[in-house]
Amino acid sequence: MIPDVTDWEFDRIVGGSPIPVLVEFWQPGCGHCWALLGELERLQPEVDGRITILKMNVRENHQIPAELEITGLPALALYEQGEFRRFIGGLGKKDEIKKQLPLGGF
């Protein structure tokens, strides 16, 4: 299961992570969001210990999505050393997402 992160704890969790963090921005009722979440759940065991995967509900959290100017859902954002690096494409397929992650050659 992919853990939730909120605006309130975002800086502490993402900023304090020693490994890259991938965040899915989603909302209830978004079918594509649920499909992507399923792919991330399949990906999680393959990247465990090298990438942290989190999800953020944009209906309950507004600050971080606004800072990133997210206009479409789902959105996947990659953070390294607490800083936003880029959005990840290939929404929907685990293998396409994995190709875009900084996995250190593993």
Asked about 33 being catalytic, the answer comes back as: yes
What are the residue ranges of helices labelled H in the chain? Answer: 7-15, 31-47, 63-67, 94-99
**Which of 2, 22, 33, 53 is the catalytic position?**
33
Instruction: Write the DSSP symbol of residue 58.
Output: T
**Which of 17, 19, 30, 100 is the catalytic position?**
30
Cβ 50 vs Cβ 18: under 8 Å: no
Asked about 89 being catalytic, the answer comes back as: no
Report the catalytic residues: 30, 33
